[in-house]
Amino acid sequence: MALFMMRSTVRIDRLTTIGGYIAGFALLFLIWHLAAVYLVKSTLFPPPMPVLERGWMLIEDGILQEQIIASLRRIAQGFLLGSAIGIPVGLAIGSFKPVRWLLEPWTEFFRFIPAVAMITVSVIWFGIGEESKVFLIAYTTIFVVIISTAAGVGAVGRDKIRAAQCLGANRWQVFGLVALPATVPYILTGMRLAMSNAFVTIVAAELIASNDGLGKMLWDARLFMQIEDIFVALVALGLLGFATDRSFRFLIRAFAGRFNATV
């Protein structure tokens, strides 16, 4: 009985959350509408309806999906590449002092050079093809993931490690069976942060050097003064980012919720 009540409370919580999101977005669009129609009254700031209509048209023509998929594919590739490098490096920095001494200057150096500043170099090195964008996303992902992974390793409780040692664990077992699982929530949090950086980076990169993607769509729309297209791209970015971040949070909860009641 108690269990049933808890379950249904969780479901009601979830419904409330979703209801809240819908109401929040509705309010946002309402304010946008009011601001555009009654306040700004300019063709440079279209109200939501024409923008949504234009968006629907672009979807029917298959154009919007194409741009979205182009951008998301780059994000996914760079993000996975960056995480695949960042996680082991972060683990090594957190676990071994010499590696920390050696690599910390690197991370501390590069994390202050934003990916946006690397666009020009990246275009010179890789051209305006896929490689330059994937490189930039990987770049923006790596350092965030490294830093939060290394911090996670450092935060593993001393008693957890000692307990394993006096149960007979060797160095590798301490690493693989204690330090690593204890660090998972930190890794996932780092990846979540990196994901939002990736959205910033991909738009900037596509604005400057690309043949497709949402950033390119923004750029073209500006050139041809298609103001509705600009807003379609902006709304698409916001919604995509929101959806991605929610899914990430959902994953973190699913995988790491039991690690810590406060996640």
Partner 1 sequence: MGFVTQGADVALVSLQGVGKTFSGRTGAWEAVRDFSLDMAEGEFFCLLGTSGCGKTTVLNMVAGFEAPTAGRILLDGAPVERPGADRGVVFQGHDSLYDWLTALDNIGFGLRLRGMGKAERRAKAEHFLRMVGLTGQGAKHPSELSGGMKQRIQIARALANDPRMLLMDEPFGALDAMTRAVLQGELSRIWAETKKTVLFITHDIEEACALATRIGVMRRGPGGTLKAIVPVDLPFPRERTSDEFMRVFREVHGLIHDEIHGAH
Using CB under 8 A as the binding rule, whether residue 258 contacts partner 1 is answered as yes
- Cβ distance to partner 1 smaller for residue 62 or 168: 168
One-letter amino acid identity for 236?
Answer: A
Give the separation between CA 22 and CA 32, rounded to whole angstroms: 15
Query: Which of the stretches 9-17, 61-69, 107-115, 171-179 binds partner 1 when contact is defined by CB under 8 A?
Result: 171-179
* Contact window for partner 1 (CB under 8 A) among 65-73, 74-82, 132-140, 176-184: 176-184
DSSP 21-52: HHHHHHHHHHHHHHIIIIII--TTS--HHHHH
Q: Which of 240, 207, 205 is nearest to 130 (CA)?
A: 205
Is residue 169 near partner 1 by the rule CB under 8 A? yes
C-beta closer to partner 1: residue 80 or 263: 263
Q: Which of residues 104-163 bind partner 1 (CB under 8 A)?
A: 157, 159-160, 162-163
177 binds partner 1 (CB under 8 A): yes
**What's the rounded Cα separation, in Å, for the pair 195 and 212?**
20
Q: Is 184 in the site for partner 1 (CB under 8 A)?
A: yes
- Does the footprint of partner 1 cover residue 1 (CB under 8 A)? no
How far is residue 149's CA from residue 83's CA, in Å, rounded to a whole number?
10
Is 262 strand, coil or helix?
Answer: coil
Q: Which lies closer to partner 1 via its Cβ, residue 126 or residue 259?
A: 259
Tokens representing 123 are 């275009």
Site size toward partner 1, by CB under 8 A: 21
Segment near partner 1 (CB under 8 A), from 39-47, 113-121, 138-146, 167-175?
A: 167-175
Q: Shortest approach of partner 1 to residue 252 CB, angstroms?
A: 13
Distance CA 251, CA 244 (A): 11
The vertex-186 CA angle with 86 and 256, nearest 5°, equals 120
CA distance 263 to 259: 8
Candidate list 64, 178, 204, 237; residue touching partner 1; CB under 8 A: 178
Q: Are 155 and 186 in contact (CB under 8 A)?
A: yes
Closer residue to partner 1 (CB): 124 or 261 = 261
Closest distance to partner 1 from the beta carbon of 229 (Å): 47
- Burial readout 2-23 (b: 16 or more C-beta within 10 A, e: otherwise): eeeeeeeeeeeeeeeeeeeeee
Binding part of the chain for partner 1, among 2-10, 99-107, 173-181, 235-243 by CB under 8 A, reads: 173-181
CA 226, chain centre distance (Å): 28
Binding-site member from 182, 207, 218, 252 for partner 1 (CB under 8 A): 182
- Residue 171 sits in the site that holds partner 1 (CB under 8 A): no
By the criterion CB under 8 A, which residues form the site for partner 1?
Answer: 157, 159-160, 162-169, 173, 177-178, 181-182, 184, 258-261
